[in-house]
Amino acid sequence: MTKSALQIARASYQPKLPKALRGNVKAVEGEPTQSVADQDAIKALFPNTYGTPVITFEGSDETVSYPAINVGVILSGGQAPGGHNVISGLFDGLKKMNKDSRLFGFILGPGGLVDHNYKELTADIIDEYRNTGGFDIIGSGRTKLEKVDQFEKGLEIIRQLDIKAIVIIGGDDSNTNACVLAEYYAAKQYGVQVIGCPKTIDGDLKNEQIETSFGFDTATKVYSEVIGNIQRDCNSSRKYWHFIKLMGRSASHIALECALQTQPNVCIISEEVEAKNQSLDDVVTYIAQAVADRAAEGNNFGTVLIPEGLIEFIPAMKRLIAELNDFLAANAEEFSHIKKSHQREYIISKLSPENSAVYASLPEGVARQLTLDRDPHGNVQVSLIETEKLLSDMVAVKLAKWKEEGKFVGKFAAQHHFFGYEGRCAAPSNYDADYCYSLGYTASALIAAGKTGYMSSVRNTTAPAEEWIAGGIPITMMMNMERRHGEMKPVIQKALVKLDGAPFLEYAAHRAEWAKCTDYVYPGPIQYFGPTEVCDQPTKTLVLEQKGRNQK
Ligand code: FBP
């Protein structure tokens, strides 16, 4: 592989570890835990992994001799910067405990376990991937591990390779599945541990113990760099409105963080749209008003940030999508036989009157996108819906009407962008490089401590790395019951943007001023080498959340 100068320099970066993990480690157990909601239902479904204590690792004077073990690792779901460092931290942790321990990577996600597709990750392979972006060391996939025959098929290769523990690096759905697998293997007394690691650029796998999911830091820095560049272009040519959709399947954390970093003229927060029960027209009117206000000052340009998941948070659309999800899950076979040209009419005829009317009112393209194949978790693939174009088209129509009425005096020309894939495989920032390495290393300590059904956790990460707190959180502690594929299922509760949380309040306090301004912020590219105030800053979201927590 030919390497760039940055890759070569970056390969020798030694990620920082929490102090407690640097020498001998002991596991300290806290109080028994319970799930965030639906305690009886979750306890009944997870009798072997429910209620276990939070684990914290502390330094110890005692040297323990660990047996050599074999461990399997899986990357699951969308790519997120730092995945390779989770694997290298896991590898180094295992080797530190016993140099004869071995690590096997399952290829292309959870499907690799079921299909017995794997490769051993030896030191020379690991060294090639340290501090690099991407998941290409073993690839990732979205196969949902949820059926007994998959668990049993996986067990065959686990036995063949004499694997003691599996580490699943994934988002909320993949960690839910990790817990289901942990519970199954524990119930069957197979002696196979399962540990999860919190990954997703979306930033929606977090709670009191899991401060952030890895990849959010790097991805938002990459998007903020290019948003800043666009804003400078805006200020230079003064002729376009840029509609920028940002990834984040459900929560608006990415859009909010980018807004805090770049100070755009408009940023829509899906959770607010839902809370205020806004319609699509309300959102369009809000943007159009910002365009009109700026035009009145002679500024026919600006930026609008749109979270990818917006459509699903507009209450009328949400009700429609929920009915569509259930209907398509139950009638997939029949729907697959309907000719494309008749699908719209067919759906209109099958839905309840309220949802049918909303569906019929949608532009053809969006209506079709809402009936496209779901992802393996039964979710609409919102990344395929061109919300940025939908909104700018609707804003243009509204402004044309306002022009006729004399309420809009400017010009409106739009450019469209969708930033998602550009950031998912970026070389991890120092924060993600350190955080991920520590998560992987912590996973090895959880395995050594004999734990299963736990998520690796590293906290206090706005402090210097040596003060970070490493440990394990029972995955059942994060669960509640939600409707999926038309059925109630135990799932990890998704962390949406909190409207009373510090990051949103910070944005809300400034947005009126930012709507008018031309004094944008241009964050520039991620810096890997240089002063700590330039290279080691966590996200504004995390800093504000920590500050909010400390003030309570
Ligand atoms: P994960 O939740 O699996 O980390 O994936 C997040 C994400 O990047 C979303 O932001 C986006 O909607 C989705 O993946 C797109 O996935 P795909 O490329 O598989 O369609």
Q: What is the pLDDT of residues 468-527, one digit of tens each?
A: 999 999 999 999 999 877 789 999 999 999 999 999 999 999 999 999 988 899 999 999
Cα–ligand 1 centroid distance for 77 (angstroms): 7
- pLDDT attached to residue 374: 74
- Is 110 close to ligand 1, i.e. is its CB under 6 Å away? no
Residue 24 Cα to ligand 1 midpoint, Å, equals 38
For the chain, the average pLDDT equals 94
CA distances to 95, 257, 546 from 456, rounded to whole Å, are: 18, 24, 19
Give mean pLDDT, residues 164-175: 96
Atom index in ligand 1 nearest the CA of residue 174 equals 3
Q: Is the distance from the beta carbon of residue 77 to the nearest atom of ligand 1 less than 6 Å? A: yes
> What is the atom index within ligand 1 of the atom nearest the CA of 215?
4
In angstroms, the first-to-last Cα distance of the chain is 51
Q: Is pLDDT of 66 > 70?
A: yes
Does residue 385 register a pLDDT over 90? no
Q: Report CA(466)–ligand 1 centroid distance (Å).
A: 32
pLDDT, tens only, 186-244? 999 999 999 999 999 999 999 988 999 999 999 999 999 999 999 999 999 999 999 99
- CATH 3.40.50.460 maps onto the chain at 216-308+385-421+500-551
Protein fold of 216-308+385-421+500-551 = Rossmann fold (3.40.50)
Residue whose CA is closest, atom 1 of ligand 1? 78
pLDDT of residue 518: 85
Is the pLDDT reported for residue 376 higher than 90? no
Of the pLDDT bands very low, low, confident and very high (cuts 50, 70, 90), residue 133 is: very high
What is the pLDDT confidence band of residue 437, given thresholds at 50, 70 and 90? very high
Which of 148-162, 325-339, 345-359, 391-405 has the least mean pLDDT? 325-339
Give the model's pLDDT for residue 330: 87
Residue nearest to atom 19 of ligand 1 (CA): 78
Q: Which atom of ligand 1 is nearest to the CA of 205?
A: 2
Give me ligand 1 centre to Cα 389, in Å. 20
Q: Which of 140, 173, 200 to mutate to test the pocket of ligand 1 (most atoms within 8 A of CB)?
A: 200
Q: What is residue 155's predicted lDDT score, i.e. its pLDDT?
A: 97
Give CA–CA dist 239/242, Å, rounded: 10
Quote the Cα angle for 127-130-133, to 5°: 135
- In angstroms, rounded to a whole number, what is the distance separating the alpha carbons of residues 179 and 492? 10
Considering only CA atoms, which residue is closest to atom 12 of ligand 1? Answer: 249
Residues of the chain with pLDDT > 70: what percent? 99
Mean pLDDT of 78-85: 98
The answer, yes or no, to whether any atom of ligand 1 lies below 6 A from the CB of 201, is yes
Q: Tens digit of pLDDT for each residue in 524-550?
A: 999 999 999 999 999 999 999 998 777
Choosing from 75, 172, 202 the residue with most ligand 1 atoms within 8 A of its CB, the one to mutate for a pocket test is 202
CATH number assigned to the domain covering 63-215+428-475: 3.40.50.450
The DSSP secondary structure of 193-215, one letter per residue, reads EEEEEEB-TT--S--SS----BT
Q: Boundaries of CATH 3.40.50.450 in the chain?
A: 63-215+428-475
pLDDT at 552: 64
Question: Does residue 294 have a pLDDT over 90?
Answer: yes
Q: Which long-range contacts (CB under 8 A, 24 or more apart) does 40-43 make?
A: 41/481, 41/488, 41/490, 42/476, 42/479, 42/480, 42/481, 42/490, 43/476
Q: What percent of the chain has pLDDT over 90?
A: 83
